[in-house]
Amino acid sequence: MSQLFSINENTCINCYACVRVCPVKAIEVKAGQNFARIIESRCVGCGSCLNICPVNAVSYRSSKKEVLELLKGDAPVAAICAPSISGEFVDITDYRKFVQMIRQLGFSYVCEVTFGVDLVAREYKNLFDNFKGKYFITSMCPVVVSMVEKYHPELVQNLAPIISPIVATAMAVRKEYGQNVKVVLIGPCIQSKEEIQLYDDDRRIDENLTFVELRELFDEFNIKEGNVEYSEFDEPIGYKGSLFPIGRGILQAVDISEDLLTGTVISTNGPNNTLQALEQFESSIELINRHFNLFYCEGCLMGPGTSKGGKKFIRRTMVTNYANKRLKTFNREKWEQDIDKHSKGNFIRGFNIDDQRLPPPSEQKLEEVLKVIDKEFVGRDSGCEACGYASCYDFASAVASGLAHTDMCLNFTLKNRQEYIKTLRATNEKLAKTQEALRESEKKARAEQEAAREASETITTMLKKLPSAVVLIDKKLKILQSNQSFIDLLGDDALEINEIIPGLVGADLKTLLPYNIHNLFTNVLQNNTDILNRDVQLKDKLLNLSVFTIKPNAIVGAVIRDMYAPEVQKEEVIKRITEVIDKNLAMVQKIGFLLGEGASETEQMLNSIIKTYRESGSSNQNT
């Protein structure tokens, strides 16, 4: 069986209206949860949340499908109509048309719960007249019964042990028409959908339609007053039980005294009055000394299963007008015979304690919550009630019990929102400054990027124009960049590769150079020790190789010169003769004191050689 009431999380707007109106705080709103949730075990089925929700996010378990299945079956089905039906269907001018409309749905019998009210009223009169020092709370309202069982378990023994009028009517119908008859209650109460599950004998009620569900069925099957004939209710017919929806009507049905001086029963209805009555009955019944006749709604006229927007006093007038009309042609003698016939049944019922009271949180926990919401110094009964709780202490208790969260406190939320706005404003100002700084940084970055691009192009151009071969490789000996001199140095194979892959980028150095050369690159990569001016043989060429680290263990570069190239030969001879002069000069300086003029002569001789070689090179170039 599905939950009686539920909240559509996609429709809920988290306005807390249902939390505020729930009399037992059976609705929780957890932190980070953007919808309310009904806790089934704590719910008493009053339907207050259903009527208050501004977006119709709350719904209750429908019985239409199950009722239609019963009507399709082989067993006869009887509808028993709550007395408040005359107040609900003010748009139907004659109750006899209304009875026939119900029959059109497929019901075999249409009876009034009014007769069950008459039966139960007699039981209450006997209970009150035989007073033995114990005061009772009437048990005709299933919401009141559920509230006592769950939140005032000490009062369960004070609930009148008498079945409700709907159950008494079901007994009478089965006795009248047979035990195989299926019974469907049509009424204003939603909690009665739970109440009917308590019985599985001849008192059982198989399904329960609310007045709203009945209207929906009329619409679905296009059943209208103008399309049907008159039809009377089936027997047994009730008497003053028609006044039951008005709250104290059951007392008038059997003339139970409500005299302010001598009466022993106090009647009240409505959510606030009912809650106060239960609290004061529990705390002060020895002082009050009265039985309590309680109905949670404003009489059954305004039950949650009625159409929204109904006007209480118009409905009340319709009920009394209907009762007066029926009494004009009432057959009292037949009624008394029926009462005698059906008054021998089992009208006794029991109750089950289902204590749902939460253990009070510790004072330390309460103080922590109150401190968070900045209410640690408020009085215990103080509070704006915007959160749905009567006081800040009640709210803090709900938070500590996991039924609510601190954001439900309006003052706390507004304060946080103001602080958030301040923080957001400051953040926006910082963001604006950061954005300006970012724009300046972007300008600089673009300028630097352009400069880097120009530098890269310049370096690339320079590499291409260098007469020496230049190559850069990565740690896998893959070529990152090389110039034309390097490609020319390698020969025809490299020139062909260059046509496909310009600059030999990505080519494997091991496939282009012999082991003795590419191994030098490997050594520099591994040891980060540069190799300078190393002469190596490549086929018929003598190469002068310098391998140096650019990025340790990652990138190395090399400058390679072909020592047989004329320009390199001249440069190298001059370089090496200069080195000889430098070495000899150093030696001359050491022995100068001994050799005297010999040092000068040696220097002149070497300079003469260099000069002669340079002049020779110049004349060859001119030739």
Alpha carbons 177 and 200: distance in angstroms, whole number: 18
Give the residue among 414, 407, 409, 416 at the shortest CA–CA distance from 393. Answer: 409
CB 455 within 8 A of CB 463: no
DSSP states along 512-579 = TS-HHHHHHHHHHHHH---EEEEEEEETTEEEEEEEEEEETTTEEEEEEEETTSHHHHHHHHHHHHHH
What's the pLDDT score for residue 273? 95
Q: For 397-401, 413-417, 488-492, 500-504, which range has the lowest pLDDT when averaged over its residues? A: 413-417
User: How many degrees, rounded to 5, is the angle at CA 161 between CA 158 and CA 164?
Assistant: 120
CB 132 within 8 A of CB 259: no
What's the pLDDT score for residue 576? 58
What's the pLDDT score for residue 610? 53
| Dihedral, CA of residue 141, residue 144, residue 146 and residue 149, to nearest 10 | -130
Residue predicted with more confidence, 380 or 13: 13
**Confidence (pTM):** 0.66
Q: For 95-104, 430-439, 498-507, 600-609, which range has the lowest pLDDT when averaged over its residues? A: 600-609
Alpha helices in 84-141 (DSSP H): 85-88, 95-104, 114-129
φ/ψ of 28, rounded to 5, equals: -110, 150
Look up the CATH superfamily of 466-564.
PAS domain (3.30.450.20)
Alpha carbons 553 and 523: distance in angstroms, whole number: 10
Alpha carbons 411 and 516: distance in angstroms, whole number: 83
400-428 pLDDT, tens digit each: 777 777 767 766 666 666 666 777 777 88
CB 559 within 8 A of CB 533: no
Band of pLDDT at residue 118, cut at 50, 70 and 90: very high
Alpha carbons 72 and 92: distance in angstroms, whole number: 27
Give the residue among 484, 481, 479 at the shortest CA–CA distance from 510. Answer: 479
Q: In this structure, what token pair is assigned to residue 191? A: 């909690």
Band of pLDDT at residue 460, cut at 50, 70 and 90: low
Q: Where are the beta strands (DSSP E) in 97-238?
A: 109-112, 182-187, 207-210
| Cβ neighbour number for residue 299 with a 10 Å cutoff | 22
546-586 pLDDT, tens digit each: 898 888 998 998 888 888 777 655 555 556 555 554 555 45
What's the pLDDT score for residue 599? 43
203-234 pLDDT, tens digit each: 999 999 999 999 999 999 999 998 999 999 99
Give the best-scoring range by mean pLDDT among 23-27, 392-396, 486-490, 536-540: 23-27
Q: In this structure, what token pair is assigned to residue 281? A: 């009955």
Average pLDDT score over residue span 390-404: 77
148-194 pLDDT, tens digit each: 999 999 999 999 999 999 999 999 999 999 999 999 999 999 999 99
Residue predicted with more confidence, 564 or 110: 110
Give the residue among 1, 450, 478, 331 at the shortest CA–CA distance from 193. Answer: 1
CA dist list (Å): 603 to 399, 570, 585: 103, 20, 8
Q: In this structure, what token pair is assigned to residue 203? A: 């008192």
- Single-letter code of the amino acid located at 107: F
41-69 pLDDT, tens digit each: 999 999 999 999 999 999 999 999 999 99
Band of pLDDT at residue 35, cut at 50, 70 and 90: confident
Q: For 129-143, 156-170, 194-208, 496-510, which range has the lowest pLDDT when averaged over its residues? A: 496-510
For the chain, domain boundaries: 1-61, 62-342, 363-408, 466-564, 573-622
CB 23 within 8 A of CB 12: no
Band of pLDDT at residue 609, cut at 50, 70 and 90: very low
Percent of the chain with pLDDT over 70: 85
What's the pLDDT score for residue 315? 92
Q: Is the predicted pLDDT of residue 467 greater than 60, yes or no?
A: yes
Q: In this structure, what token pair is assigned to residue 145? A: 């019964």
Q: In this structure, what token pair is assigned to residue 372? A: 């968070």
Q: Is the predicted pLDDT of residue 385 greater than 80, yes or no?
A: no
CB 102 within 8 A of CB 67: no
Residues in the chain, overall count: 623
What's the pLDDT score for residue 266? 94
CB 24 within 8 A of CB 151: yes
Which CATH fold would you assign to the domain 1-61? Alpha-Beta Plaits (3.30.70)
Q: Is the predicted pLDDT of residue 605 greater than 50, yes or no?
A: no
CA dist list (Å): 276 to 25, 136, 330: 16, 16, 39
Q: In this structure, what token pair is assigned to residue 71? A: 């009507």
What's the pLDDT score for residue 216? 96
